Chain A
Amino acid sequence: MVALQLGGAPAATLGEVKNRADLVIFWGSNPADSHPRHFTRYSGTAKGRFTRKGRKDRHIVVVDVRRTPSVKYADEFIQVDHGCDYEVLTAMRMIAGGKRPDRDEVGGVGVDTLANLVDRCKKARMGVLFFGQGITETRGKHQNSTAIYQFGKDMSRYSKFLTMPMRGHYNVVGSGNTMCWQTGYPFAVNFGRGYPQFNPGEFSVVDLLSRKEPDAALIVAAEPMDHLPYTAASHLEDIPTIVLDPRETLTTKIARVVIPVKHAGVSVEGSAYRMDHVPIRMQAPLKSPWPKDDAPLDAIIRKIKQIRIEQAGKTDGN
């Protein structure tokens, strides 16, 4: 997300990818396990208007630090040394700019292999680079993604070239979009001064919890005890933590207050954003006895307003 703000990126829907892309690169992403039907619906075997032969019309490259299950679906596998994605991307940008690195190998990959890949990207009718947590969660973090976006920008001079993160949670794109449209910022927002302020590193969850700053937490549809570093998550055990979740999780086990809710897309209808920012209305095939999460949130808002009125009344009385 920070990388997107630094680099910018051309966007397209997955429908465009299905219909047009003849070069698909998965970098630090293992869709065979994490997004199993991405390949059949959009990026691999899917047949589109200008990709009538489906898989035969696409060249698929997997770039990763290890041979993941996705490799068997690819035409080409490029193995990068651990933590060397930034170096490899920089070398590719260099090659794209007409220079050649002064060595035979960068980050465990032969320069000739990289030159071939850059050449393919330049000649593609439409190339797409999907990147995953292998890029965003390793050494270099958002600088890796920035290098990806900048490489995409370089390639756009020669071909139609897209870069798209393989987002994990089904509506994580929606959380960024909704926060953008409501507050102006996609994440790490603070309302302490009465207006939204944005500062990743200061108001981002891992940093806040690691510095033990929050004195209470409300967790909505997330599993921080499982997904955050323990040094950060453990602070949630020391403060009153409230959890809204349909299911028991590791976080509900340490929570002071647990409020069960319906499961969006399973037991209640709702809107979510796909990874290409297309909003989709979800159905509810099952029933749940609990309310939808807006209801307790709304009740909490009303109750806090009431508490404040009561407190103001007491202060006036004194």
Chain B
Amino acid sequence: MATAAKADEQTAVFNNVVCPFCATLCDDLTVHVRGNQVVKVNGCNLSKGVFMNAHTEWATPRVDGKRVDYDDAVDEAARILARSVNPLIFGLAATDVEAQKKCIELADLIGANLDNASSV
């Protein structure tokens, strides 16, 4: 799907990129990427914020504030949800449909409350 073409040696240009910020979901952005960093994007200020700052403040796998292996974080999450009698799953609005389906599968498995930003 990605239509990457070399603009110069280091810069890859992606055309018709969709902006994941607001629900206007503009699908006509041109994104210039150099070394896994966006160096130029022709969207609005909000989409510039999304792409230009995409790699700032990355989350890290943690339990109780301590850095752990990824699988340990996942295992701890599973233990918490398996123990819970009335869990809540909330969010879904800022991810894709495939992840949303997985959240629903999990909610069904553990008998959870499931809600998204529509109710806020």
| A residues with CB within 8 A of B | 1, 14, 34-38, 41-42, 166-179, 182-183, 186-194, 196, 200, 203-206, 208-209, 213-222, 224, 227-228, 240, 242-249, 252, 255-260, 263-275, 279-288, 290-294, 296-301, 303-305, 307-308
A205 to B107, CA, bound (A): 14
Supposing A187-B116, A214-B113 touch, asked if A170 and B97 sit within 8 A by C-beta, the answer is no
Q: Give the Cβ gap from B64 to chain A, nearest Cβ, in Å.
A: 6
Are A214 and B38 neighbours in the complex by a CB distance under 8 Å? Answer: no
Cα-based distance from A256 to B66 in the complex (angstroms): 10
Contact in complex: B20, A187 (CB < 8 Å): no
Contact of A258 among B62, B84, B100, B114 (CB under 8 A): B62
Give, as a whole number of angstroms, the nearest-CB distance from B57 to chain A: 4
Q: A258-B61, A260-B59, A300-B77 known; A169 and B93 CB under 8 Å?
A: yes
A299: min CB distance to chain B, Å: 5
Chain A: which residue is nearest B75 at the CB level? A303
What residues of A have a CB within 8 angstroms of the CB of B97 in the complex?
171, 174, 177-178, 270-273, 279
CA distance in complex: A153, B3 (Å) = 43
- How many angstroms from the CA of A269 to the CA of B112 in the assembled complex? 28
Kindly list chain A residues whose C-beta atoms are within 8 Å of the C-beta of B58: 246-248, 260, 288
Q: Which chain A positions have C-beta within 8 A of B46?
A: 36
Nearest opposing residue in chain B for A186, CB measure: B118
| Given contacts A214-B88, A300-B77, A270 and B44 within 8 Å (CB-CB) | no
Residues A37 and B78 in contact in the complex (CB < 8 Å), given A172-B23, A179-B114, A297-B99: no
A222–B45 Cα distance when bound, in Å, is 21
Contact, CB under 8 Å: B16 / A205: no
Contacting pair B115 A172 (CB below 8 A)? no
Whole-angstrom distance between the alpha carbons of A285 and B57 in the complex? 18
Q: What 1/0 mask marks residues of chain B from 86 to 112 whose CB sits below 8 Å from any chain A CB? A: 111111111111111111111111111
**Using Cβ atoms and an 8 Å threshold, which residues of chain B touch A268?**
96
Question: What residues of B have a CB within 8 angstroms of the CB of A296 in the complex?
Answer: 70, 73-74, 77
Given A260-B59, A283-B1: 6 more A-B contacts, CB < 8 Å: A218-B103, A260-B60, A270-B98, A273-B97, A281-B18, A286-B33
Residue of A nearest to B25 (CB): A274
Give, as a whole number of angstroms, the nearest-CB distance from B4 to chain A.
8
Choose among B16, B19, B82 the residue with the greatest number of A CB atoms under 10 Å from its CB. B82
With contact pairs A260-B59, A265-B96, A270-B97 given, residues A304 and B81 touching in the complex (Cβ less than 8 Å): yes
Contacts A170-B94, A219-B90, A299-B74 given; does A283 touch B2 at CB 8 Å: yes
Least distance between B9 CB and chain A CB atoms (Å): 18
- Alpha-carbon separation in the docked complex, A268 to B97 (Å): 12
In contact, A37 and B118 (Cβ under 8 angstroms): no
- The dominant DSSP class at the A interface is mixed
Q: Give B contacts to A, CB under 8 Å.
A: 1-2, 12, 14, 16-27, 31, 33, 36-38, 43-46, 50-51, 54-64, 70-71, 73-120
Name the A residues within 8 Å of B84 (CB-CB): 214-216, 240
B contact residues around A286 at 8 Å (CB):
33, 36-38, 51, 54-55
6 A–B contacts from the bound complex (CB under 8 Å): A170-B25, A172-B23, A220-B89, A222-B94, A273-B23, A291-B70
Select one of A219, A257, A267 contacting B73, CB under 8 A. Answer: A257
Contact call B44/A169, Cβ cutoff below 8 A: no
A264:B96 contact, CB within 8 angstroms: yes
Contacts of B70 in A (CB 8 A): 259, 290-291, 296
Shortest distance from the beta carbon of B107 to any chain A beta carbon, whole Å: 5
The answer to whether B74 and A293 touch across the interface, beta carbons within 8 angstroms, is no
Are the C-beta atoms of A35 and B24 separated by less than 8 Å?
yes
